[in-house]
Amino acid sequence: FTDSRDILAINSLYAALGFPPLVGWLLAGGDPCLEGWQGVQCLNSNITGIVLNDANLGGELVVNLGTFASITQIDLSNNHIGGSIPSNLPVTLKTFFLSGNQLTGSIPESLSTLGLLTDLSLNNNHLSGAIPDSFQQLLALANLDLSANNLSGPMPPSMARLSSISTLHLEDNQLTGVLDVLQDLPLIDLDIENNLFSGPIPPKLLGIPNFRSKGNPFNTTIIPSPPAESPLPASTSEAQPPGINPVIQARGPSSSELPHSSGQQKSNMSKKVVWIAVGGFFILVLLALGLCVRMSKWYKEKSTVKVGDHMKSSILNLSSSNPSHPKGNETQRIDSGRHNSLPRSNLEEDQKIQTISKNPPPTLPPQPLAGEGVIVKPVAIPTTTVGDISKNIHFPRFFSVASLQHYTNSFSQENLIGNGMLGSVYKAELPNGKVVAVKKLENATLRQWSDEDFIGLVSNVSKLQNDNIVGLEGYCLEHGQRLFIYEYCKNGTLHDALHLDEKIHEKLSWNARVHLALQAAKALEYLHEFCQPLVVHQNFKSANILLDEELNVRVSDCGLASLLPSSYTSQLQGLGYGAPELESGSYTYQSDVYSFGIVMLELLTGRKAFDRSKPRGEQYLVRWAVPRLHDIDALSRMVDPSLDSAYSSKSISRFADIISLCVQAEPEFRPPMSEIVQNLLHMTKINL
Ligand SMILES: Nc1ncnc2c1ncn2[C@@H]1O[C@H](COP(=O)(O)OP(=O)(O)OP(=O)(O)O)[C@@H](O)[C@H]1O
């Protein structure tokens, strides 16, 4: 039913946003109009709007929005969307709201293609660079809010073409230059506060009903003094730093309106006295007004917590119980008085946190409230702790089958890195030169898995973010194919480094091995004790410990235990890593600890966990090694001979003690990973 272009566009938008839980939304296919996907508006078979304001969305907009066939409204404001604004925008757009996100980069020049646009809000983001000179064709644009970003540079000349503009908010940026370009616009509401604009203010702007301009260098206009008494130039239309001259007038008439003919002043002393008196009076009035403003602000700061978006009339719930707004210390601008749809009495009574329904952007803003303006308040930014993966951190990217085919040279043999229980791993190079490892899952592995299950798995794996765990870069779910795209680890596996690759083996000094053990222990500690939800690896072995460019440990296959075939426990035992309790079918955190002990044994002895080529009694490393761990002579004889005695026997002995604890037959006696981390950390600190 839904136009196939719209399905394609919304699928990829969903992927880019990191497939958050949105009712109905799918990464591939579906019928948004027929199935009534959350926030999707349709007319017949076309998507006309996507409204997901304050929906806790993360991810990015790295997507070709231009694919939407006839969308007129996109409202993704007040979320946690990062990255930049895509340049390919739907030319059918009339309202485009992205305010209150984490957007970076510059405003795309392709704005110029949006000839139907009436409302655009990009405020409260981290946009930088100059405002593009893209307004020539935007003749319908009525409301534009770019406030509270890091925009710089002068006003682009094409802004003078905004013949329908009534509301323009540019406050809280670092914009420079003069304002001449705005002087003939039909503005009713203009806010340019807290920028670096220089004067003079074009007189026409002073006639705008709702004009706010303070916090710019031109706000301090120096009243000229008679040359006889002061050597200052008569006219000071240039920007001046505040406080230079004792006679300062804030937001008064521009200097061009002040008397500046020195001859006139000289000849008419009484005029001068009148000016001084008038000036003094103004200063007194302004001081009194300023005091009122401060009192009002202070009162509001105490009572109101609201994020402003004058076009969207949406106030975020900032209560500490709202998980999307954990406590933090970043400063964000909070506007207490710009919610045009709110009647004044509501604003004044608004002592509590509240959420207001979406309203269309106003065309006629009300008069400003006394003391309104930008209040800077500390606001929570989502923070990431080991146990709390916030929504706006990097989500895995969607890759199409076609693109992966291209990057892996059609999954060629030359690109094949290895095969495992779940499928094959290929090396791939992305267009930006980044090398990744593509794990192509066997269809048999996922026979029972629905697309939703797979996406749930991708989501969980992507949340596992730790220095010693291989990061998930992306995924593919298309045409029945399912693939994981991981960071590529250049130095292969610890298994190969210890047992096959002589070049890397040479680099594995005793100290390096203790460090590798420590890093691997930290990865398991994270999985067992910190991540959410906790993870039992269930396939921990030296072949799943990858080594990056600097020979740091990156444990792989984390969070994939649910994909493993039922035979995996016997396979793990066959490889020499399986704990005794696996025989009774139970696999617990302690079983991972046992496997970790076996990896430590490999590091100590340089032997494989299971080696068919050894005499019968030596094939299983653990059986051969355990009786020797507490005999100092036997221990020194079992150390990897390639280490050439370059270690302290005390260090070896401590290492052996930790192994003994890990490989105990009774799972409950094995230490938790955090204890092992502490022991290994202690060894590295005292440089044993
Ligand atoms: N991110 C990566 N970077 C570099 N090489 C990798 C990466 N992931 C896997 N490999 C390589 O691909 C091989 C196969 O990996 P895979 O995880 O599929 O199987 P495995 O873990 O070795 O075996 P199994 O799945 O049976 O336990 C690995 O041995 C490793 O050499």
Across 8-12, 92-96, 382-386, the highest mean pLDDT is recorded for 92-96
- Position 303 scores a pLDDT of 30
Give me ligand 1 centre to Cα 413, in Å.
15
Atom of ligand 1 nearest to the CA of 496: 31
What is the number of the ligand 1 atom nearest to the C-alpha of 564? 25
Mean pLDDT of 10-26: 88
- Over range 308-333, report the average pLDDT: 30
DSSP string covering 488-514: --TT-BHHHHHHT-HHHHHH--HHHHH
With bands split at pLDDT 50, 70 and 90, how would you rate the model's confidence at 449?
confident
- The atom of ligand 1 lying closest to the CA of 539 is 27
Three-state SS for 558? coil
- What number is the average pLDDT over the span 208-230? 61
Q: What percent of the chain has pLDDT over 90?
A: 50
486 touches ligand 1 (CB under 6 Å) = yes
What is the pLDDT at residue 651? 93
Is 445's pLDDT higher than 80?
no
- 225 Cα–ligand 1 center, Å: 80
pLDDT on residue 271: 43
Quick check: CB of 470 below 6 Å from ligand 1?
A: yes
**pLDDT band per the 50, 70, 90 thresholds, residue 39:** very high
Question: Measuring from atom 13 of ligand 1, which residue has the nearest CA?
Answer: 418
Q: What pLDDT shows up at residue 20?
A: 87
pTM of the model: 0.52
Tell me the helix, strand and coil percentages in the chain, rounded to 5.
35, 15, 50
- Those residues whose C-beta lies under 8 Å from the C-beta of residue 433, and which sit 6 or more positions away, are none
Confidence at 322, pLDDT banded by 50, 70, 90: very low
Q: How confident is the model at residue 280 (pLDDT cuts 50, 70, 90)?
A: low
489-519 pLDDT per residue, tens: 999 999 999 999 888 999 999 999 999 999 9
Ligand 1 contact via 546 beta carbon (within 6 Å) = yes
Q: For residue 328, is pLDDT > 60?
A: no
CA of 507 to the centre of ligand 1 (A): 21
pLDDT in tens, 537-550: 999 999 999 999 99
Q: Which of 60-64, 144-148, 362-366 has the weakest average pLDDT?
A: 362-366
**Neighbour count for residue 198 (Cβ, 10 Å):** 18
Query: Is the torsion defined by CA of 357, 145, 100, 380 positive or negative?
Result: negative
| Confidence at 286, pLDDT banded by 50, 70, 90 | low
Q: Name 220's bridge partners.
A: 250
417 CB under 6 A from ligand 1? yes
Mean pLDDT within 355-382? 28
Q: CA 513: distance to chain centroid?
A: 35
Ligand 1 neighbour 526 (Cβ under 6 A): no
Q: Which two tokens stand for residue 51?
A: 């409204």
In the predicted structure, residue 325 carries a pLDDT above the cut 70: no
- Is the model more confident about 274 or about 371? 274
- Whether residue 248 has pLDDT greater than 50: no
Tell me how far CA of residue 263 lies from CA of 150, 223, 226, 672, in angstroms: 45, 16, 9, 90
Left (φ > 0), alpha (ψ -120 to 50) or beta: where does 687 sit?
left
Arithmetic mean of pLDDT over the chain = 77
**pLDDT tens across 144-175, in order?**
999 999 999 999 999 999 989 999 999 999 99
Q: Which of 411, 424, 425 to mutate to test the pocket of ligand 1 (most atoms within 8 A of CB)?
A: 425
Smallest CA separation from ligand 1 atom 2, residue: 488
- Interval 625-676: pLDDT, tens: 999 998 999 999 999 999 998 899 999 999 999 999 999 999 999 999 999 9
Q: Which amino acid is at 680?
A: L
Does the interface ipTM go beyond 0.85? Answer: yes
